[in-house]
Amino acid sequence: MRKPLHLVMICLLAVLAACAPAAAPSPTVVPPTAVPPTVEPTIVAAAAPSPTMEAAGSGGVGAVATSAPAAAAQSAVAPAWLELALVDARTGATFTLADFSGKTVLARAMAQWCTNCRNGQARWRDEVLTQINPDNVVFVTLDIETNSTAASLASYAESNNFPWLFAVATPELVQALSAQFGSTVLVPPSEPQWVINPDGSVSDLISDRSSANLVTLLSGASS
């Protein structure tokens, strides 16, 4: 007995369905895990040590860091040669240039044969001394020829009417003056002159030896 056609078709579709391969399962999609953004590391440069820190470190444990003190102004220091003994050519009395502390001293080096020295001292006498208060200023002439005698120097001062203090420089003083001022102080015709201030400090050699300049210097130093 023949089966109906539609039953045959149904049976055939059933057989085909059974023989067909199973469909592959759809893959499970897992959302990716969020990756945190990369953070660039912050690089902090080490601070350079300050002078204060270095000072503290060099002192070892327990050192106290202090800032460097400001440079202090150097105070005037009287040179040692002011204390060297001299002899007043007129009186024979011993003195030192330091004895005039508190006053201004105008000093010069000379030689008895030096014409420039004589003329320069004449200007002292006629143009400077008359304008200076003798209570505040002392004039001193030093004969740097150490073999000169006090008697010849006193005669020189008297014959030229130079009323201030004269003395023959000792070898020690000549050496000290050369160290202080250089070799120029040992050249009498160059008329080496300098000021000793009331506090004992000493000026450089005076380049402008005019009477007006000397009066100005002495007035300023003794005011």
Tens digits of residue pLDDT in 31-48: 444 444 444 444 333 333
Q: What is the per-residue pLDDT across 188-219, written as a single tens digit (0 to 9) for each?
A: 999 999 999 999 999 999 999 999 999 999 98
* Mean pLDDT lowest among 26-40, 46-60, 153-167: 46-60
190, part of any domain: yes
Q: Please, which pLDDT band fits residue 73 given cuts at 50, 70 and 90?
A: very low
Copy the structure tokens of residue 78. 């009287």
Which pTM value belongs to this model? 0.66
Is 118 domain-assigned?
Answer: yes
Is residue 18 situated within a structural domain? no
Q: Give the range among 59-63, 142-146, 194-198 with minimum mean pLDDT.
A: 59-63
Whether residue 90 is predicted with pLDDT greater than 70 in this model: the reply is yes
Q: How confident is the model at residue 28 (pLDDT cuts 50, 70, 90)?
A: very low
Asked whether residue 24 is assigned to any structural domain, the reply reads no
* Structural domain includes residue 127: yes
pLDDT of residue 14: 54
**Residue 202's domain is classified under what CATH number?**
3.40.30.10
> Range of 96's domain?
80-222
Q: What phi and psi values does residue 57 have, to the nearest 5 degrees?
A: -65, -35
Give me the residue label for tokens 């059974």: 18
| pLDDT at residue number 147 | 97
Total domain count for the chain? 1
